[in-house]
Every structure is written in C-alpha cells, then in structure tokens.
Amino acid sequence: MAAAVWSVDPRTGREREQVAVEASGAEVDQAVRAAHAARSALADREVRAALLRAAADRLDGARAHLVEAADAETALGPVRLDGELTRTTGQLRSFAALAEEGAFLDARIDHADPAAVPPVPDLRRMRIPLGVVAVYAAGNFPFAFSAPGGDTASALAAGCPVVIKAHPDHPATSELTLALLRRAAADTGVPPECLGLVHGFDAGVALIGHPLVTAVGFTGSVRGGRALFDAAAARPVPIPFHGELGSLNPVLVTPGAAAERAEEVARGLAASVTLGTGQFCVKPGLVLVPAGEAGDRLVTALTAAVSDTEAGVLLDARIRDAFLAGVGERAALDGVESPVTPGAAGEHTVAAGFLTVAAGRLAAPGPHDLLLEECFGPVTVLARYAGPAEAGELLARLPGNLTATLHLSGAEERGEGGAAALLERLTRLAGRVVVGGWPTGVAVADAQHHGGPYPAATSTATSVGTAAVERWLRPVAYQTTPQALLPPELRDSNPLGLPRHVDGRAENGA
C-alpha cells in the first residue's frame, strides 16, 4: 500500500492533513508519458506566453489562500511568502515576454558562399526544446523554487512540458499551485497534462530514470543533488542535470571597510544571516574579518545585532536537528568561540548566533574544515585574518559558491589599493560577486546568474533570470535545406519577425 503524504505544521510538529499518497512507478510513468504527449501543444511561442501569463494571473488571484497554505507548512511568515509569490508571478511574466520575443532561440543564418576557402554551404542554426523536464522542488521556497518556480517557468518558455517532484515540506502548497497551473493551461487551450506532479522519494528516483525525461532541474542539498546527478549520468542515455547544491557564500571585509563602517557591516551581515531563519541558499556562511581593533568593533556590533533577533522556526524537524547538531560540532572545535550561541530556543524554535575562529586554523586540512561546510540555518562563522596573505590562503581553500561578497573602504571602491585583485580572486570562487551589499535577495533579471563552480552547481547555466531558458534547449544546424522545409524561424522571409544573426550581422526582425 502506498505511503500517505502528510502536510505538517513545523511550528508544532503535528500533521495537518493527508494531501496525497506517494506515487508508484506506474504513476510516474503515466505522468511522464502524458507530459510527453502534450509537448506539441507548446510548439507555438505565443501559446507558451499566454500560458505563462495565465499561470501568473491564476496565482495572483489565489494569493491569500496560497500564502496561508504555505505559511502553515513552512512557518516562513505571510510577509515573506507574499513577497515570494510576487516574485514568482513576476518571473512567469518575464518568461512570457521572453517567449514572445524569441531572441533566446539564437537563430543564425549563413548563406552559401562558394567563393570562401573552404566553401561555406548554406547553414542555419537555432535552438529547439529538449522534451520533458523533471523539476525537483526546493523546501525553502514553496513558490519561487517549487511547482510554479523558475525551473517550471523557464522550461515552459522553452517549449518543454514539466513533471515536478514535490518537496515533502510543502505538499499541500504544491498541489494547490499545480492545480492553478493546470487551470491556466486549460484557459489557454493547452492540455493540463503538460504539467505533472508526483510525491515520494521512490517517485523521485523513478522520475530521473524515465527514458522520456530529457533534462533535470534540482535545488537542494549536496548529498541529495549529487545522488541524482550521478543517476542522471548513469542512465543508458545520460541527460543534463542542472543542480543547485550547497554554498558557503564567503564574505571578505577589508581592514579599511571594517575601520570605516564596522557597525554598518555588522547590521547588514546580521540581517542577511538571519533572513528567513537562515534558510536561504545564499546566506553568508563564512565571513573573513580582520583581526585587530576594527575587527573587534565589528564583532561587538554583530553581537548586539544578532542578539536582538527573535527565535524562529525551521522548515522541519529534520532540518532543526541537523542545525543543532551542526552548530554543536562546530562550537566544540578548539579555538572556536561563540559570542552569540546559536541553538535551541524552544521545543520547535532556534536562536540565531555566530562563531569566531582564527583564520590560521583553517589554512590547512584538519578538523576545522567543518567550518568550511554549509550549515543550514541562522549561523555564520567569522574567520579573523591577520593580514592579506592569511586571507588569501583561506580563500584558496574554498570550494565553488553561488556568491562571494566584498566589502571595501571608500578609497578601495574608487580603485585604490588592491581592490581589483581581490575582486578577481572572488570571481574565481562564485557565480555572482557582490560588492558593498549582501547576497540574500536574488533578482529575476536578464543579467542575473544563480549558479557557480561545483558544488554550488553542476552546470554553468543559471537557475534564476531569463537566461535559465538555455537549460532546456539544444542547438540544431540545418545545411542546404530547402526553404519550404525549414522551420519558419530560419526562412529568409523571417515570417515570425525574429531577431536573428544573418551573414555575420545582427537583424532586429520586425
């Protein structure tokens, strides 16, 4: 008998309602095959745009109910969740505009040039959708990185149907949003089966192995993501796995910055670390702070700011247990101090805090390497460095990250000193480099990149911003193909009015 899927209130640990049952292998197969059969309905970019806008409208229309349901399952709070839903509907509309414009197809035409050496035949290239995309939802964003989130929006914009593996921390919210997305499909004449949803660990394993699944989007832990990544590569036909895994998101505060604005940096750091009870994938987990008087002022100010933070609820009991165990192990290491001790604040709540350690203890492999691993929840580590060489040694030991942040003095921001070299060093570590700000808050924009070197991500593609559509496309070149047989996007007449690149020059289309 299939296991029941329950919605659980993280504030009390009590089961709220049975939402569904875990999907069997046969049910996963049915969902994937139905999505595959619906793919032709997504061939028209205008239809895709209409679907994405209808989905945004449906979600906005159910806003109060969705926020209430998500808060009951995640304890993230109505204000945070309302903002996340706004971000999600805005994201859907951004991808609608992208689908309409068509530049993401990257249409290129080179007319035949027999006089070239060697001769060039008629060549025409564009991107086409891969097929069914499997999306593994994240627990900490029940809207923006879940059923209606960026992977779903970008896949639909590309012309790919989607089957979502729901996250167990918000199954009821997933069902509600999936129903609204399917209604939006029906509103626009698209088969609702272009969007599927399954629950359960075994269903997730079956989904990634299904022969009709052509690519995967994942947001979650290093352990879970790496297991799925390996499964995607081990298939008889390997498929792209676009995973966002773990990230320490280092911050470097220069001595000049600490001297000029220690209190300001401390307040910003405290807000970033405790936002969403520390459950953001871009939470700063390691902060390089100078030793000495300016660094001491920063630590004192951070102590006050973090101490003023109210206790919060984590997404589930498993995450809470891992947080408590993780901070306990880190605090027990030699030379580690806890100016504000993170830990349990009640039966279901946790208190924010931070740890400090001399950077020299992290210069070589050893037990303190635990401090260089992400700890999910409201905690960060301040590594006090004695000089540029010690800071550089520590940075050289860090793995890939989603973000890296640099806080400079006013003179350094004007290009004085070694600021450019520091920026270049951080650029090697991360997919997004922040100067003078904080990494929490990932804008949905054309120029955004949310990814980074492994283990931050398993590919070079972004999961946020309109460039995410590239995940679900592959290029095809047509050689010496008659006009009547070419896709409309590549015909000389350009009937769709696409922006294209023709004979080495950009054309704006209509």
Catalytic residues: 244, 281
Region of residue 189 (left: phi > 0; alpha: psi -120 to 50; beta: else): left
Strand partners, 356: 337, 382
The tokens of 331 are what?
A: 């605090």
Smallest Cα–Cα separation from 254: which of 443, 395, 44, 73? 395
Q: Strand (E) positions, 410-450? A: 430-435
Identify each DSSP E strand in 278-378 by its residue range: 286-290, 312-313, 337-340, 343-344, 349-351, 353-358
Q: What are phi and psi of 291, to 5 degrees?
A: -75, 160
Q: Which residue has the tokens 């806890």?
A: 338
Angle between helices 201-209 and 25-37 (to 10 degrees): 50
Helix (H, G, I), strand (E, B) or coil at 306: helix
Report angle CA 472, 83, 450 to the nearest 5 degrees: 35
Distance CA 287, CA 407 (A): 10
Is the Cα dihedral 412, 415, 421, 425 positive or negative? positive
What is each CA distance from 213 to 79, 174, 237, 508, in whole angstroms?
36, 21, 10, 34
How far, in Å, CA of 128 to CA of 158, rounded?
Answer: 8
Query: Which residues contact residue 439 at a Cβ distance below 8 angstroms, ignoring those fewer than 6 apart?
Result: 249, 272, 282, 283, 284, 402, 403, 405, 432
**Residue for token pair 């709220």:** 16
- What six digits make up the tokens of 154? 């970008």
The CA distance from 369 to 388, in Å, is: 20
Measured CA to CA, the distance from residue 382 to residue 348 in angstroms comes to 27
Cβ neighbour number for residue 297 with a 10 Å cutoff: 17
Q: CA angle at residue 441 from 435 to 445, to 5 degrees? A: 90
- DSSP letters for 122-161: -EEEEEEE-SEEEEE--SS-TTTTSTTSHHHHHHHHHT--
Return d(Cα 379, Cα 330) in angstroms, integer: 11
Bridge partners for 457 per DSSP: 244
Whether the ω angle into residue 118 lies within 30 degrees of 0, i.e. cis, is yes
